[in-house]
């Protein structure tokens, strides 16, 4: 997963900059009550991009998997971590814990990209993974910077984060086909891309939200392009049949782990 270079960095406007700085200084655990955007109230149900936003057949089919759809609905449900961020009601302590764990997770996620680079069968694959590794390193630096600004310090690794890391590490060995590793990594990219684009483009983030930068970071075209680059490496359905059972199982399991990761900090 690679965010735009503004990940949780107060840069989109002077008003938002001051909002972020003021919330960083606050001693209270919950940000002030926001002023909702009456013209774009938060939608109920399952906000997500139309199928046409994901042009690759395999990627679309996997994202439309019933279990994946349920996970996305859970991640965006009222009262969820993402919903609380968008409504500006997420306790600051929860966001700080999420940030600290995200930095730890990203380090391990990038190790999976390194494993994919080793498995690459050609220069095309190497080039794509080289770009994804570099982008993730940039994101790690920005998340660590956000941790410093918000005073986020990770203690013991949450079981939900460790379970996700263990899953990815299980896909590192040379005996695991590259397509199975890619399937286990793609949900992270697609989920964050859709969340950013859904909430920003549809006006689902309340005005003056302290967490606006988090949504902005994943809403840009750079993130969409990088996600599509990874999705393009997913295998096409086999002749006369569907996807490999392991490809489907890894994609679904990764999305379940994403859901659990977010839920751990709600």
Supply the pLDDT for residue 239. Answer: 65
Residue 135 sits at the vertex; the CA angle it makes with 54 and 254, to the nearest 5 degrees, is 50
What distance in Å separates the CA atoms of residue 116 and residue 254, rounded to the nearest whole number?
A: 16
Question: How far, in Å, CA of 257 to CA of 3, rounded?
Answer: 19
Cβ(67)–Cβ(248) below 8 Å = no
Q: What's the predicted TM-score (pTM) here?
A: 0.81
User: What's residue 241's pLDDT?
Assistant: 63
- Per-residue pLDDT for 119 more than 60? yes
What is the average pLDDT across 210-216? 95
SS3 state at 220:
coil
Residue-level pLDDT at 15:
39
The pLDDT tens digits for 181-211 are: 999 999 999 999 999 999 999 999 999 999 9
Q: Which tops the pLDDT comparison, 127 or 35?
A: 127
Which residue, among 193, 195, 181, 192, has the nearest Cα to 235 in the 3D structure?
181
User: What angle do the packed helices 123-150 and 92-119 form, to 10 degrees?
Assistant: 160
Q: CA 96 to CA 90: how far, in whole Å?
A: 10
Q: What is the overall mean pLDDT for the chain?
A: 83
Could you report the per-residue pLDDT of 135-180, keeping only the tens digit for each? 899 889 989 999 999 999 988 999 999 999 999 999 999 999 999 9
pLDDT of residue 54: 44
Q: What are the angstrom distances between the C-alpha of 203 and each of 5, 38, 41, 84, 108?
A: 21, 10, 7, 15, 33
């Amino acid at each position: 997963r690679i965010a735009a270079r503004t990940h949780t960095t107060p840069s989109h406007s002077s008003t938002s900059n001051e909002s972020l700085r003021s919330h960083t200084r606050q001693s209270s655990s919950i940000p002030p009550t926001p002023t909702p955007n009456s013209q774009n109230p938060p939608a109920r149900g399952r906000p997500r991009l139309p199928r046409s936003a994901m042009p690759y057949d395999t990627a679309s089919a996997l994202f439309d998997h019933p279990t994946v759809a349920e996970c996305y609905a859970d991640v965006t449900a009222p009262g969820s971590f993402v919903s609380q961020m968008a409504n500006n009601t997420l306790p600051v302590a929860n966001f700080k814990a999420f940030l600290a764990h995200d930095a730890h997770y990203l380090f391990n996620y990038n190790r999976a990209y390194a494993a994919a680079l080793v498995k690459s069968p050609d220069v095309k694959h190497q080039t794509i993974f080289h770009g994804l590794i570099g982008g993730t390193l940039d994101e790690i630096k920005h998340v660590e910077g956000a941790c410093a600004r918000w005073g986020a310090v990770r203690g013991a690794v949450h079981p939900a984060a460790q379970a996700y890391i263990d899953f990815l590490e299980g896909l590192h060995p040379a005996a695991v086909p590259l397509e199975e590793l890619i399937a286990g990594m793609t949900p992270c990219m697609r989920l964050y891309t859709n969340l950013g684009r859904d909430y920003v483009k549809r006006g689902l983030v309340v005005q003056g939200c302290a967490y606006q930068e988090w949504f902005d970071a994943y809403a840009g075209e750079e993130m969409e392009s990088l996600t599509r680059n990874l999705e393009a490496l997913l295998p096409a359905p086999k002749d006369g049949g569907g996807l490999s059972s392991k490809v489907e199982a890894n994609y679904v399991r990764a999305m379940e782990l994403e859901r659990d990761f977010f839920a751990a900090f709600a």
